[in-house]
Amino acid sequence: MDANIHALYGRDIHRYLDSNDCDYELCVLPASEEAKNMQSVLTLVQGLDSFGISRRNEPIIGIGGGIILDVVGLASSLYRRSTPYIRVPTSLLGLVDAGVGIKTGVNFNGHKNRLGSYFAPSVALLDRGFLATLGDRYVSNGLAEILKISLVLDAHLFDLLEEHAETLLAERLTGRTAVGDAVGREVIRRAVDGMLRELQPNLWERNLERRVDYGHSFSPTLEMRALPALLHGEAVSVDMALTTIVAERRGLISAPDRARVFNLMKRLRLPVWHPLCGTDLLAHALRETTRHRDGLQRIPLPVGIGDARFVSDLTHEEVTRAAEVLRDLDLPTRAAPRLSDVGGHGHPIVTDVYDIGELGDVPDGAEAAHRDHVIACDASSVVWESIRWSSLPPGAACVEKAPGFAPKLYFILAGEGELLLGEESHPLRPGHLVVAGPSAVHHVRNHGADDLNWLLLEFHGLLNSTIWPDEASAGGGVA
Ligand SMILES: NC(=O)c1ccc[n+]([C@@H]2O[C@H](COP(=O)([O-])OP(=O)(O)OC[C@H]3O[C@@H](n4cnc5c(N)ncnc54)[C@H](O)[C@@H]3O)[C@@H](O)[C@H]2O)c1
Ligand SMILES: [Zn+2]
């Protein structure tokens, strides 16, 4: 059982099993891509061995999201060559995708699902009641796979998503209102039906042209490289956005339909772009996918909304160009969002955090700040790539020289250090707010025993001289 499900539903599940006189042993596993490995499989089979499970009559029951279902499925297929198992998916992605097919697997050697098997569960029990406690981001994550089915198989499902996106998100498809109930049920049913129709005649993937692989050509590499920043469905969404552009440039989908797709992705709170989508990553991903599909690309591309075609002649230039178009398409919303676009005042700002490598220049002999995340605007934030979280290890120094010419503030969150403004030294402690003018170059040193962490906020045109202190534009100050 997924550790989070155990915390939320453990008591009820124990009560149910006890009142039905079941002899059982519980194995609680963490659900994360990092823990989706052979070690978790071995922990589980160790438990099966000590329990002395009967290989014919006593099923293993996997209860959790896609990660736990994949781990439990692989352990079941390995244990005594095969032991029956039951899937109880609890996440939306589990309900419509991981819980539906016969694939199992774990990550290995930096590759997604590199070790796995085809092993059908005896039963899959789908109960959308679990979704009531699923985190918002994971609801969107599951909706990405549903959107995938709609784009290549089911135009009516796309219409349903388009018409009810906000209701589906707000009610988590559990059906708190009559309309939400009917739509949630219908959306899950159509998504599962679409999956079944595609998978059933090709369970062992003898035919490698699979529509359900849409969004899964570039995403496996992107997802693993971006870990843990991108969830599975989010990586799939970026892949679908990229291949929708490729399809548009090949005349397979019209510009208005492409706009509908992108608009729906945004409304479902799915990303359409990730900064790791550079030439190298995309070329590597294309090679990996071609190898995985037996030497041919076999990339599904959308044809309009609701249909697909397979192509094996994508060039690197074509993919790189599509990525550039995608980045530029994403820019206007990132560069110039208005508060009125994001739900008005008083609403929380939701952002994506991207890892962009090291911070600024490093003085001789000093160690670089070891993390530097850009919290980029995803159309819900009011500034573009302007909030960054940085962390400097003990003994290290760096130059805080944020790109661009906007004024900055940085707020010390943890640790102890020193800021050098020219010859002048200022202590840095949690709670300090540093004001930096557009041209200022600040040397930051960590004197403490712990990491020195700060949040940097950059204001693109939001501050004017009346609220921006004169001395700040000259160099900076500490408050
Ligand atoms: N075998 C397949 O055919 C197949 C298909 C699609 C995806 N997958 C795999 O599935 C995985 C992604 O699945 P996922 O998105 O379900 O991720 P997940 O298993 O990590 O679950 C998402 C998160 O939500 C929590 N959670 C699950 N159900 C919950 C609930 N009802 N209430 C509160 N929290 C809950 C989990 O503990 C976890 O933190 C990927 O590893 C992917 O490769 C497999
Ligand atoms: Zn998937």
Tens of pLDDT, residue by residue over 289-343, are 999 998 999 999 999 999 999 999 999 999 999 999 988 887 555 443 443 444 4
Question: Is 131 a member of any domain?
Answer: no
pLDDT at 329: 80
The letter for the amino acid at 58 is: E
Same domain, 182 and 309: yes
**pLDDT for the residue numbered 406:** 60
Same domain as 240, residue 168:
yes
Q: Which residue has the tokens 């499925």?
A: 73
Are residues 361 and 470 both part of a single domain?
A: yes
| pLDDT score of 473 | 43
In short, whether 384's Cβ falls inside 6 Å of ligand 1 is no
**Which ligand is the nearest neighbour of the Cα of 144?**
2
Q: Which among 73, 92, 126 is the end of a domain?
A: 126
CA of 44 to the centre of ligand 1 (A): 18
Domain boundary among 92, 126, 160: 126
Q: What is the pLDDT of residues 201-260, one digit of tens each?
A: 888 888 889 999 999 999 999 998 988 888 999 999 999 999 999 999 999 999 999 999
pLDDT of residue 112: 86
Has residue 104 been placed in a domain? yes
Instruction: Given the residues 36, 103, 148, 408, select the one marked as catalytic.
Output: 103
**Same domain, yes or no, for 245 and 290?**
yes
CA–centroid distance, 421 to ligand 2, in Å, is: 50
Judge contact between 360 and 396, C-beta under 8 A.
no
Q: Say if strands 387-392 and 397-400 run parallel, antiparallel, or are unpaired.
A: unpaired
Q: Is residue 345 part of a domain?
A: no
* CA–CA distance, 94 with 139 (Å, rounded to integer): 11
Catalytic, 148? Answer: no
Q: Is residue 346 part of a domain?
A: no
Residue 339 has a pLDDT of: 38
Both 371 and 307 in a single domain? no
**Binning pLDDT at 50, 70 and 90, where does residue 407 land?**
low
Q: Give the residue, out of 91, 237, 270, with the most ligand 1 atoms within 8 A of its beta carbon, to mutate for a pocket test.
A: 91
Q: Which of 375-384, 403-412, 423-432 has the highest mean pLDDT?
A: 423-432
341 in any annotated domain: no
Give, using CA atoms, the residue closest to atom 11 of ligand 1: 66
72 near 85, Cβ under 8 Å? yes
Comparing CA positions, the residue from 335, 236, 294 lying closest to residue 244 is: 236
Distance CA 456, CA 412 (A): 9
Looking at the structure, tell me whether residues 60 and 172 fall in a common domain: no
Q: Are residues 398 and 268 in the same domain?
A: no
Domain identity same for 300 and 171: yes
User: Rounded distance, CA 140 to CA 66, Å?
Assistant: 14
Residue 457 confidence (pLDDT): 76
Q: What per-residue confidence (pLDDT) applies to 355?
A: 44
Examine residue 343 and state whether it is found in any structural domain, yes or no.
no
Q: Are 14 and 8 in contact (CB under 8 A)?
A: no
Whether 140 is in the pocket of ligand 1, judged by its Cβ within 6 Å, is no
* 340: in domain: no
Residue 302: asked if its preceding bond is cis (omega within 30°), the reply is: no
**Residue where a domain stops, chosen among 88, 103, 126:** 126
Q: Stretch 446-450: mean pLDDT, rounded? A: 85
pLDDT above 70 coverage of the chain, percent: 81
Residues 18, 148, single domain; the answer is no
* DSSP 8-state secondary structure symbol assigned to residue 65: S
Residue located nearest, by CA, to atom 14 of ligand 1: 66
Q: Per residue in 77-129, pLDDT tens? A: 999 999 999 999 999 999 999 999 999 999 999 888 999 999 999 999 999 99
Would 342 be classed as within a structural domain? no
Domains identified in the chain, total number: 3
Torsion of CA 306, 312, 317, 322, to 10 degrees: 10
Q: What CATH number has the domain bearing residue 277?
A: 1.20.1090.10
Q: Do 264 and 152 fall within a single domain?
A: yes
Q: How confident is the model at residue 267 (pLDDT cuts 50, 70, 90)?
A: very high
Residues 196 and 96 in one domain: no
Higher pLDDT, 145 or 447: 145
Residue 306 Cα to ligand 1 middle (Å): 26
Q: Are residues 363 and 447 in the same domain?
A: yes
Q: How far is CA 365 from CA 68, 362, 395, 396, in A?
A: 45, 8, 11, 9
**The domain that contains 423 carries what CATH number?**
2.60.120.10
Q: Is the CB of 36 under 6 A from ligand 1?
A: yes
Range of the domain at 217: 136-335
